[in-house]
Structure 1
Amino acid sequence: MATTCGLRTLKNEPGSTSLTTEAPAAQGGDVPYTLSLTMDIYSPSSIQSVESNCPLTPLEFVSQDKTQAKASLTSGHKFDRDVELLLYYSQPHLPTAILEAGRPAAESGSLMGDTVAMLTFYPEIQAEKSSLMTSSGEFIFLVDRSGSMDCPMEGNGGNQTRIGSARDTLVLLLKSLPLGCYFNIYGFGSEYESFFPESVEYTQTTMETALQKVKSMQADLGGTEILPPLQNIYSKPCLPSHPRQLFVFTDGEVGNTKDVIKLVKKHADTHRCFTFGIGEGASSALVNGMAEGGCGHPQFITGAERMQPKVMQSLQFALNPAAKDITVKWNIPAEVSVTPLSPPVNVLFNFKRVIQYFQLRAQSASSISGSVSLHYIVEDKAVENKININLQPKTDSSMLFHRLGARKAILALEEKVTEGDDKSVRERAIDLSIQSGVSSSYTAFIGVNTANKEPVQGPLQQRHIAARSLFGKCFSQRSFAHCGGYPLMGCQMMAPMACQMSLQSNFMNTSLINSSLELCDMGTYLTSLVLTPMEKHQDPLLELIDLQKADGSWDLQQSLASILGKQEEEVVKASPGKPELSSVWATVLAVLWLHGHKAESKDEWQFVATKAMAWIKAQSGFDLTEFVAAGNSFLGLQVKL
C-alpha cells in the first residue's frame, strides 16, 4: 500500500492519550530503510561552486550559463549530523527576482494558483571608518553562564570551553568599543548579575575593571533563565543620544521562548538585539526570534568555528547607522495585483541579504515586466535598490518558492494570533498550510493512502534512534553527590544511552561541586580533569589585543616586545622619535604586526586597528611616514598604513 503525507487540522484535547506506540529502537545500521539526498540548484545568478560539511559528488552544471546545477551526497552517508551547504555565486551581491508560476489545477486567486515572486536585495549601508570610533551608543552584553557553558566548543572535545571562548570574545569586544559609548555586562543562569549597577562610560578605568571581572567569569549560575535579566535591562531608561545595542550569548534553550521574544519586540524601538547561539544545542527559535524581534541579526557558532569573527561582524552592524522608512515599491502593469507574503522589512544591514516573497495575480499576463525597488533612508539620505523585471514565471513541480512564501506568511499570522487577533487570522494560517503542504501550529502531517485518499488507520510507531551525546562521556558517581536532584547510583553500570540521556536531562542545571572530576568512558577507563579558573590561551593576537588601552594606544613594555619577537631594549633603540613618543612607536609597531602577521584574522582586529590609527593621527610632533618605514624595517615587513 502506497502512502503519502497530507495536512490535517488536529485538536489537542485534555486527557488525550498518545497517538504513537513503542517500536524497537534501531541499532547501529540495522534500519529498514536507506536515505539519499540530491540537490537541484537553480539561480538567476551564475553558480561558482558548492561546498558542504558532508562529502558531495562532483557538481554537475545542467545549463550553459551555470545558473542550474545538481549535487548529491555520496552514497553511504548515515545522516548522523546536519547537512550544511555553502553556495557561492559569481556575483554574490547582485539583486535578483525569481518568479514561479502557480499550479494550473489550483484555484485562481489562491496562493498555489497565482505566481509567487522571491526578491533578493543586498543593501549597502556604510559609514566612514573614522566615524565608527566616535559613535555614541550603549552596549550591553548578556552572557549565558549556565553549567553547559563549561562544555567544549567543538563537538569532538576541543580544549577551549564555551565560557572560555565567551571570555576571549568579551575581551575583544571591550577593546573594540568606541570612545564616548556606555557599556555593561550581565551574566545569567538560574539567577543573574551585572558588572555595574548601571551602564558606565567607556574609559580606561571602567574597561580595566570589566576586564578583571571577565577573566574570572565562570559557568557557575545554574540553569538558563534569560527573561529576568532582560526585564532588568529594559527597566532602566535608555541614555539620551546613546542608542542601546544588546548582544546575547547562549548555548541552550528556555521554556518561555515566546515571552522572551515578545519582551524583546516590545522594546525594539529603543534598541537592537544581536544574538549568538553557541553549539548544536542552542535554540534556533530563541536566537532567531530575539534577533528578528529586536531588529538585530542572529549568528550561530558550531563545531570548530571561532566565535570572534561572527561577533565582530555583528559589532560592525551595530556601529553602522540604522536604516529608516524601509519600503518595497512595485512599478508593474496595473492589472497585476501584489500581495505581500513576508512581514515588512524592519531592519537592514550592509550587504546582508534581504529576501521578500509576494503573491502576484494577473488575469492574462504570460510574462511580467517592470521594476521593484527597496527604498530606505540612512543618515537623512534616500537610497534606492532597484530590480528590473522582464520575466516569464517558471514552472516548478516542487512549488518551492510558493512553499517558502507560505512559510513566511504562516509565521507572521501565528504571531498575530499570539498577540490576540481574531479567529480569521488563525483560519487564514490553516488555509495557507493546507494549500501549500507547509505545517503550522494548527496542522500536522498524517499518513494518507494514495489509492483511496483516506488516512492510514492504526497507531503510529515511535522508533528510538540513537543520538550523539553532548558530552560523549558520562561523569562518575564519585564526582557528584547528586545530579539535578537525582543520585547517579551505578552510573558506570548503566547502558551507554541510558547513562548519557540521564546526564543530558539532569546535569545541565547543576553546578559542579568538585574542582577535580573523574570521567568514565562507558566504564572502560578513569581519568582526571582539573578545571582551572581561567584557561590560559597562547594566541598572540588575543595577547596583543589584551594589552591595548581604551583610547587605542599601546604602551612600550616587555610583554608587547615579546609578542613582536623582540626585547624591550631593542624596541626602544629602534625608535625614530623622542622618548616621549614611545607610545606612538609602540602603537605603530602593534598595528604593523597585525597587518603583517594576522592579515587572515582582519575581521577580528579591524576595530582595534581603526581605533589605534585614530589615536596615532591625533598625536603631534612626529612624522607618521617615518615611523611606518622604521617599523617595517625593524619587523621585516612591507605594510602600508
Structure 2
Amino acid sequence: MSKYGLRDKRFSENEVQLKKVSINGNICGEFVEFSMAQVYENKAENNIDAVYIFPLPDTAVLTGFEAILGGKSLRAIVEDKEDSYKIYENALESGINIISIDQDEDNIFTISIGSILPNETVKINITYMDQLLYEDSSFKLMIPSIIAPQSMEEEEVNKAKPEYKLSLNLLVESFNKLDIYSPTHGIHVHREDDTLCKVSFKEGQMLHKDFVLMMKETKNEEYSGMIYNYNNLDEEEGVLYLRLYPKLDYEEGHQTQNYDFLIDISDSMEGDQLEEAKNAVHLCLRNLDEGDNFNIIAFSEEVKVFSKEGKVPYNDENLEKASEWIDDLKVEPGANVFETLKYALQEKNREGNSTILLFTDDMVEEEDEIIDYVKEHINDNRIFPFGVDTAVNSYFINKMAEIGYGRPEFIYAGERIDDMVLRQFNRITNPQVDVISIDWGAMKVQRTYPRTIDYLYDREPISIFAKVSGEIGGKVTIKGKVGQEDYIKTIDLDKLDLDVNADLIEKVWARKRIESLTEKMRGERGEVRESMRKKVIELSKDYGIISKETSFVMLEEMEEPVLGMAISNIIPIQISEEAMENISEGYFLDSPSFFYKVDIREKMVEEGMDKEKAKKAIIYDRENLLRIIAKNQLADGAFCNKKEENHTKRLESTLISILAFTLGKEDVKIYMNQINKSLRYVLKSIEDNEGILNEKITHLVILALRSSIEKKLVRQPSRSIIEDHIDKLKNIIKENKYMDIQYISNSDRNIDLRDSTTFMLSLNEEKNIKEEFLINFKEGQNILDIAKLAIQKTL
C-alpha cells in the first residue's frame, strides 16, 4: 500500500516519532489540491540521516515540497531542465551537497532531507494537484495512509490510542449539491450553502489506512461552471471554468458503416500489449450492427488479412470466424505499417469509404513517405490511430490523425489498451456534436483551453477553461451539428453560481495549457516546437507546476545569527530521468472524468501472491469478468454461449449479463453500445417468441430494463419505449398472479434492484457461484455463470 513516512536510511530500527499531521486543501469541481504537513521528532540519542517516503497518485502532479529542520528550510522550486542540469554539474565540481530523489517502486519515491539532531523536530509539507476520479455519478478523492515510525510492538500497543494529532480542513466548492461521506473515516461536513462546505475529521481519527472521500452528485446538470477572479496590475482578470455534460438523445436509423482494424503484431507488442490489443478488436467488433462491413489486417514484416476478398458483412458466422482468427495471432518480427495502410486505403468497399483504426507501438522509420501517401489517397476515409506505449512515434500518430480526419489516442503505462480503444470507438459510432463555433458573447477572452473544440461526445464530460479580461458574464453559445440536425446550446453565465475562493482554478488552467502545448509539440518540429517548449517552461516556473521540460531544485534558506539576515542557496537534486518523468506525468489532459486504470495486474505483485493466485486474481476481478462477457456477445446482441440454441436460455443469459453490467458501481459507458444492442435483442425476443415470458424471465426482464435506465445507459426515444414495456410486464405479473417482489413498490433506488436480483437468483444461499469452479472455463462457455459471479461481486 502506498504510504507517507520518515525513516533513518541507515537503520532498520527507527526512533523518530510522528507528532502531528495536518491536511489542508481545496476541491473545485473535479479538481483538488491538498497539502499534507507532518511534524516528526528525533527521540534517539544520536543524529538520524533521514529520508522521506512519499507516494505519487496515478493522475496527480507534485506542486510543492518543503522540509524545515535545524534552523533551515528546504523548498522545491521549478527550474528549466537544462539549467537544473548545469546547477548539478557545477555542484559536483564545487563539492556542494546534493539532495537525491529515488524511485523505489512505480509510484513510491524517497527524498533525502539531511541530518536530524537529537530532540530536534522536522516539519515536512508536500502538496499535490489532482483530478478526481468519477464513478457512478460520484467524485472520489483518495489520500494515502501514513507510516508512523515505530516498532511492531509499539504499533500493536498504539492501535488502541491516537499516537499523533490529525486534522483535516478541506474546502469543497462544487457545481451543485453533493452528498459527501467517507467509507473509511469519521468526518464532519459543515455546509455554508448547497455548493460550499468544509470537511473535517472527527476526533480520534488516524491515517493507518488510506482516506477515501466520496462526493455524489444529487443531479447531473448538462452544463455548470465556476470562476476565479483576481487583479492583474490595474485590470481585473479571471478564469472561467465550464463543465459540459452533453446529452445527445438523437436516434437516427442505422447507417451502414465500413471498418478496417489494423493491429500491430510485431515482437515489441509481445505480452500484455498484444493481448489487450486483440481484446480491443474483439470488443470493437461487438459494437458493430447488422449492415456494417469489416475487415482485419494484422501486420509484422508480413501483412496478414482476415478476408482477402475485401470486407465481409457483420453477422454471427463472420464474427465467429474473425474471433478465431484474432485469437490465433502471434507476435512476429518487423512492422510494415506502410504496406498495411496502403492495403486498407486501396481495399474495395461494399459501400462508400471506411473508418480505419490503427493500433501500433512502432517508431515508423519512413514516416514522411507514409504521410505523403496518405494525404494523396485518404479521400473520404477516416483514420483513428492509437499509439501504444510512450515509446511510440508520437509525431507520426498525430500527423496520421490530422491528415486522416480522425483523432489520436496515446495509451500510457497504467492504462488498458482495450478500455481506451473502446472509449474512442464509442465516440466514433455514437452521436457527437461537430462543433462549428463557440461564441463568448461580450467577454474579452484572451485564450481558451482547449484552444479549439472539434467535437462534443455524448455523455462524456468535458472541461473548458477561458482566461478573461474584465467582467465575466452574459451568455456563451455553442453551435454545431449532430448528424444533419442543428445543435445550439446557450449557457447563461448570470444564472450560474460561479464565484469560487481558490486559486486552484487558475493553476488547473495553467496545467491544462502545459499539457496542451506538450501534446502539440508531438506533432511539430524546428522553431515552432522550440517556441512551444519555451512557453511550457515559462508556465511551469510561473505556477510552480512540474513538466517534462522542467525539473526541481531545492532552495535552502537559513538564518545567519551574526548578520541577522537570511541566507539562500540553490541545492541541486540528483534524480533519474525515468523518475523525473514519472513525477511530471500526472496526466489529465483532455481526460474524461473516467480514468481507466490497470489495477488488475497490480494485484499480481501483492506481497505473498504466487503466480497461480495472481492468475486467479486477474480472472476473477469483476472488471475482467465484464470484459469476458462483453467479448462474447453475439452479432444479434445476445450474451450467451456460442452454441446455445434454446431461446429461453439465450434470453436468461442475456438478461443476467445486462444486470452484471448495470448493478455495479463502475462506470460502464464504454459498453453502452453493447448493452443497448442486447436490450434490442431482449425486446425482439419477447415479441417474436410467444410463451417465453415465464415468471422468472418476466421479473428478470423488468430488472434488466430498469437497471439500464437507472444507470443512464438508454437514450430517448428508446427510454420511453422501454418504460412502456416495463408497464406492460407489470400488468402481466398482476394478471398471472406472479409473486410481488420489492422492486414493484420501490422503483427508484439501485439497492432495491440489487436486492430484487439477489432474491430472484438466490445468490445469498447455497447456490453461490464458486470462483474455483470456473478456473478451467473457456471463453465462449459458462457466460451465464460468469455473469452471476460478476453480480455476486456487487452484493
Question: TM-score, normalised to structure 1's length?
Answer: 0.60
1:560 and 2:644 equivalent? yes
Q: How does 1:64-463 map to 2 (within 5 A)?
A: 64-70=193-199, 76=207, 87-102=215-230, 104=231, 106-107=232-233, 114-128=237-251, 131-132=253-254, 134-140=255-261, 142=263, 150=271, 167=278, 170-187=281-298, 193-196=304-307, 200-204=311-315, 206-218=318-330, 220-221=331-332, 236=346, 241-246=352-357, 248=359, 270-271=381-382, 273=384, 294-295=406-407, 314-332=424-442, 336-362=444-470, 365=471, 368-390=472-494, 394=499, 396=501, 399-414=503-518, 418-420=524-526, 427-440=534-547, 442-449=549-556, 456-462=569-575
Q: How many angstroms apart in 2 are the aligned matches of 1:324 and 1:465?
A: 39
Contact 1:44 1:67 in 2 (8 A): no
Q: CA deviation at 1:26?
A: 9.1
What secondary structure, in the 3-state scheme, does the structure 1 residue paired with 2:451 have? coil
Q: How many angstroms apart in 2 are the aligned matches of 1:150 and 1:629?
A: 48
Contact 2:101 2:109 in 1 (8 A): no
Closer/same/farther in 2, CA of residues 276 and 341 from structure 1, 3 Å limit: closer
Can you list the C-alpha shifts for 1:351-385, whole angstroms capped at 9, x where unaligned? 111211111111xx5xx331212221112222122
RMSD: 5.9
Contact 1:47 1:67 in 2 (8 A): no
What secondary structure, in the 3-state scheme, does the structure 2 residue paired with 1:211 have? helix
Closer/same/farther in 2, CA of residues 629 and 329 from structure 1, 3 Å limit: farther
Closer/same/farther in 2, CA of residues 172 and 8 from structure 1, 3 Å limit: closer
- The one-letter amino acid of 2:192's match is S
Closer/same/farther in 2, CA of residues 326 and 635 from structure 1, 3 Å limit: same
Provide the residue aligned with 2:74 in structure 1.
3
Closer/same/farther in 2, CA of residues 464 and 173 from structure 1, 3 Å limit: closer
Q: How many angstroms apart in 1 are the aligned matches of 2:542 and 2:610?
A: 57
Contact 2:357 2:385 in 1 (8 A): yes
Q: How many angstroms apart in 2 are the aligned matches of 1:439 and 1:410?
A: 9
Contact 2:654 2:678 in 1 (8 A): no
Q: How many angstroms apart in 2 are the aligned matches of 1:426 and 1:308?
A: 32
Contact 2:84 2:551 in 1 (8 A): no
Q: How many angstroms apart in 1 are the aligned matches of 2:193 and 2:329?
A: 56
Closer/same/farther in 2, CA of residues 632 and 454 from structure 1, 3 Å limit: farther
Can you list the C-alpha shifts for 1:411-453, whole angstroms capped at 9, x where unaligned? 4445666255557655544443433333455544332346799
Contact 2:176 2:219 in 1 (8 A): yes
Contact 1:56 1:71 in 2 (8 A): no
What secondary structure, in the 3-state scheme, does the structure 1 residue paired with 2:474 have? strand
Contact 1:410 1:432 in 2 (8 A): yes
Can you list the C-alpha shifts for 1:443-477, whole angstroms capped at 9, x where unaligned? 443323467998734543449999xxxxxxxxxxx
Q: CA deviation at 1:115?
A: 0.9
What secondary structure, in the 3-state scheme, does the structure 2 residue paired with 1:88 have? strand
Closer/same/farther in 2, CA of residues 320 and 196 from structure 1, 3 Å limit: same
Q: How many angstroms apart in 2 are the aligned matches of 1:453 and 1:238?
A: 76
Higher relative contact order (CA 8 A, sep 6+): 1
More off after superposition, 134-143 vs 226-235:
226-235
Q: CA deviation at 1:350?
A: 0.2
Q: How many angstroms apart in 1 are the aligned matches of 2:392 and 2:214?
A: 19
Q: CA deviation at 1:349?
A: 0.8
Give me the identity figure in percent: 13
Q: How many angstroms apart in 2 are the aligned matches of 1:352 and 1:192?
A: 36
Contact 1:119 1:355 in 2 (8 A): yes
Q: How many angstroms apart in 2 are the aligned matches of 1:121 and 1:202?
A: 37
Provide the residue aligned with 2:717 in structure 1.
none
Closer/same/farther in 2, CA of residues 554 and 380 from structure 1, 3 Å limit: closer
What secondary structure, in the 3-state scheme, does the structure 2 residue paired with 1:2 have? strand
What secondary structure, in the 3-state scheme, does the structure 2 residue paired with 1:217 have? coil
Provide the residue aligned with 1:590 in structure 2.
650
More off after superposition, 13-22 vs 407-416:
13-22
Q: How does 1:510-529 map to 2 (within 5 A)?
A: none
Question: TM-score, normalised to structure 2's length?
Answer: 0.50
Contact 1:98 1:119 in 2 (8 A): yes
Q: CA deviation at 1:182?
A: 3.1
Contact 1:116 1:360 in 2 (8 A): yes
More off after superposition, 403-412 vs 308-317:
308-317
How many residues align? The count is 513
Provide the residue aligned with 1:627 in structure 2.
689
Q: How many angstroms apart in 2 are the aligned matches of 1:66 and 1:635?
A: 44
Closer/same/farther in 2, CA of residues 361 and 210 from structure 1, 3 Å limit: same
Contact 1:326 1:376 in 2 (8 A): yes
Q: CA deviation at 1:255?
A: 6.5
Q: CA deviation at 1:99?
A: 0.9
Provide the residue aligned with 1:508 in structure 2.
none
Q: CA deviation at 1:211?
A: 1.8
Q: How many angstroms apart in 2 are the aligned matches of 1:392 and 1:593?
A: 47
- The one-letter amino acid of 2:465's match is Y
Can you list the C-alpha shifts for 1:119-163, whole angstroms capped at 9, x where unaligned? 1111233442x734x441324253667577645xxxxxxxxxx76
Contact 2:298 2:304 in 1 (8 A): yes
What secondary structure, in the 3-state scheme, does the structure 1 residue paired with 2:513 have? helix
1:601 and 2:601 equivalent? no
Closer/same/farther in 2, CA of residues 381 and 463 from structure 1, 3 Å limit: closer
More off after superposition, 379-388 vs 345-354:
379-388
Structure 1, unpaired ranges of 5+: 152-161, 467-518, 562-570, 572-585
Q: How many angstroms apart in 1 are the aligned matches of 2:626 and 2:519?
A: 47
Q: How many angstroms apart in 2 are the aligned matches of 1:403 and 1:84?
A: 24
Contact 2:449 2:509 in 1 (8 A): yes
- The structure with the largest strand share of the pair is 2
Closer/same/farther in 2, CA of residues 302 and 296 from structure 1, 3 Å limit: same
Contact 1:50 1:86 in 2 (8 A): yes
Closer/same/farther in 2, CA of residues 354 and 186 from structure 1, 3 Å limit: same
What secondary structure, in the 3-state scheme, does the structure 1 residue paired with 2:459 have? coil
Contact 1:48 1:89 in 2 (8 A): yes
Q: How many angstroms apart in 1 are the aligned matches of 2:642 and 2:346?
A: 43
Q: CA deviation at 1:321?
A: 3.9
Q: CA deviation at 1:560?
A: 1.1
Q: How many angstroms apart in 2 are the aligned matches of 1:236 and 1:276?
A: 23
